[in-house]
Amino acid sequence: MRNSWLPFEVIVAVRFLRDGRLQTLFIIGGIAIGVGVIVFMSALLSGMQANFIRRVLTAQAHIQLLPPVEVTRPLRGGGPELEAATVQPPLQRLKSIDQWQAVAGQIRAMPGVRVVAPLVSGSALALRGSASRAVSILGMDPPDYYRIVDVPGKLVRGRGDVGSADILIGIDLASDLGLDLGDKLRLSTAAGGAVVLNVLGIFDLGNKGANQRTTYLALHTAQSLLGLPGGVTSLDVTLDDVYAAERMAQRITAATGVQADSWIKTSAQFFAAISAQSTANTAIRLFVGLSVAFGIASVLVVSVVQKSREIGILRAMGVRRGQILRLFLLQGGLLGLAGSVAGSAAGAAGLWLWQQLERNPDGTPLFVLEAQPSLYATALLLASLSGLLAAFAPALRAARLDPVVAIRG
């Protein structure tokens, strides 16, 4: 006997599906479309989200530690005149994080922390001949800072290994001041600091304003220029998990007493957009999954009605109710599995086609779509489970059929 090694329920379930092959093909096609949509949209939205995160967070740290803000406290007990005086906030002086080396070492020891980079930032005037531009100085230690912001990858000319007499400038600042590699640029600050530096590299950050204002110096050069010998104005921190930034920032503040701001807090609108995108992705999966489940359930309900006589005969022949129940559950599971396999293939084909058609003007992919194997495994599992759950009510109805009533029709 053919397939004698197969359980009875599997043989009958496959035969029922084969007898109603048109219905079977339609429901498998419907499941395939649903699973294909889930795979394609999940990979697409995840790729977009990763692209947004990468574009934003490759130009900034996940967490930034800052020195405390100076505040003015009104005098108490000095008479009604002093009590009623207007208290104005003080001007914020450029100052260093207290004992920043010890703080940096403490943060590096925390699990989940990838990089801690000291930074000195301030304002200066860039002078070349009779031309001048207000610029922002960023003094950094290249080996650490370049692991946070990929400045060498943004260079259009020159090198990024800045020394004590070197400076990196934006392409628009170079154009405004007529600078090129090897030229000299004088920087002066409001406090009287001044230095002449050699243009070692010219970068393009993809933003004209940033290209006109941003300059990179060696850490000790910026410390000397801004009058902060041995000090830093911030500590930039990156993490293994970007979404844990706010939780880690609170932990750092509690452990060190230094103010720590995460990108989730400082870029609240961007984080809200990312969260909304994740919610939309989850909603798409949920509603498509529900449509797949209802489709399977409707087909199996029709199948129970159509196969009532056969079910009655099987029951009269001694087939137990549990076997009838498993028979229809198997049909639901097989439909879900077959549809999910076809849908996963369709989703993968759609992703490949998207990457071939959607290109940047320079021919590179619009953004990277990475469909992880876990995505296909999850789609297969959920579709099969949806098939089993959707088949439960029809299977229960079939198992409860009275054989005499079913045979009589």
Tens of pLDDT, residues 352-372:
888 777 776 666 666 667 667
Q: 388, 326 in Cβ contact below 8 A? A: no
> Is 249 among the domain residues?
no
Mean pLDDT, the chain, as a whole number? 81
Are 212 and 156 found together in one domain?
A: yes
Half-sphere exposure of 170 (CA within 13 A, CB side): 22
Q: Rounded to an integer, what distance in angstroms lies between the CA atom of residue 336 and that of residue 358?
A: 31
Q: Is the domain of 208 the same as that of 290?
A: no
3, part of any domain: no
Which tens digit of pLDDT belongs to each residue from 323-333?
A: 777 777 787 78
Q: Is residue 400 part of a domain?
A: yes
Q: Is 184 helix (H, G, I), strand (E, B) or coil?
A: strand
> Whole-angstrom Cα distance, residue 300 to residue 256?
63
137, β-bridge pairs: 122, 215
pLDDT at residue 4 tops 60:
no
Is residue 258 in some structural domain? Answer: no
Does the CA dihedral 393-394-399-404 come out positive or negative? positive
CA 25 from centre of chain: 37
Res. 196: pLDDT tops 90: yes
How confident is the model over 363-386, as a mean pLDDT?
A: 74
Cβ-in-10-Å burial (0-12, 13-18, 19+) of 22 comes to exposed
Please state whether 3 falls in left (phi above 0), alpha (psi between -120 and 50) or beta. Answer: left
Q: What pLDDT score was predicted for residue 150? A: 87
- Among candidate residues 209, 232, 255, the one where a domain is terminated: 232
Distance CA 384, CA 332 (A): 8
H-run or E-run covering 294:
helix 268-306
Q: Evaluate whether 120 touches 224 at the Cβ level (below 8 Å).
A: no
194-203 and 166-170 beta bridge pairing: parallel
Q: Rounded to whole angstroms, what are the CA distances from 67 to 60, 139, 214, 304?
A: 18, 16, 21, 72
Q: What is the mean pLDDT of residues 182-203?
A: 92
CA dihedral 312, 318, 319, 320 (to 10 degrees): 100
Q: Is residue 82 part of a domain?
A: no
**The pLDDT value given to residue 224:** 92
In a domain, 148, yes or no: yes
pLDDT top residue among 170 and 317: 170
pTM of the model: 0.66
Q: Is the pLDDT of residue 1 over 50?
A: no
Residues 297 and 223 in one domain: no
Among 205, 232, 259, give the residue marking a domain's end.
232
Tens of pLDDT along 93-122?
Answer: 567 888 899 999 999 999 999 999 999 999
More confident residue, 171 or 48: 171
Report the alpha-carbon distance of residue 24 to residue 26 in Å, rounded.
5
Q: Do 221 and 291 fall within a single domain?
A: no
- Once rounded to an integer, what is the mean pLDDT over residues 36-46? 81
Q: How many domains does the chain have?
A: 2
Query: 281 and 166: one domain?
Result: no
Map residue 379 onto helix, strand or coil.
Answer: helix
- Domain edge (last residue) among 176, 211, 232: 232
Q: Residues 6-30: what's their mean pLDDT?
A: 77
Highest mean pLDDT among 134-138, 283-287, 343-347: 134-138
Q: Determine the pLDDT at residue 328.
A: 76
- Could you tell me the residue range of the domain that residue 288 belongs to? 8-56+271-408
Least-confidence region, from 89-98, 139-148, 269-278: 89-98
What residues are paired with 217 via a beta bridge?
139, 167
pLDDT band of residue 14 (cuts 50, 70, 90) is confident
Whether residue 205 is found in the same domain as residue 130: yes
d(CA 342, CA 31): 8
Classify burial at 220, counting beta carbons within 10 Å of its beta carbon; exposed 0-12, middle 13-18, buried 19 or more: middle
CB 251 within 8 A of CB 213: no
Reply yes or no on whether the pLDDT at 225 is more than 50: yes
Same domain for 278 and 327?
yes
> Contacts for 253-257 with beta carbons within 8 Å, 24 or more apart?
255/106, 255/110, 256/65, 256/103, 256/106, 256/107
For residue 76, being part of any structural domain is answered with no
Other C-beta atoms closer than 10 Å to the C-beta of 306 total 14
% of the chain with per-residue pLDDT over 70:
83
Same domain, 215 and 100: yes
CA angle 374, 377, 378 (to 5 degrees): 85
Of 44-48, 64-68, 293-297, 388-392, where does the model show the most confidence? Answer: 64-68
Same domain, 50 and 98: no
Say if CB 247 and CB 260 are below 8 A apart.
Answer: no
The larger pLDDT score, comparing residue 308 to residue 66, is at 66
Helix axes 100-108, 245-256, angle to 10 degrees: 130
Give, as one character, the DSSP assignment of residue 387.
H
Same domain, 290 and 376: yes
- Considering the domain architecture, whether residues 226 and 154 belong to the same structural domain is answered as yes
**Are residues 40 and 109 part of one domain?**
no
Answer yes or no: is 78 within a domain: no
Contact (CB, 8 A) for 134 and 106:
no
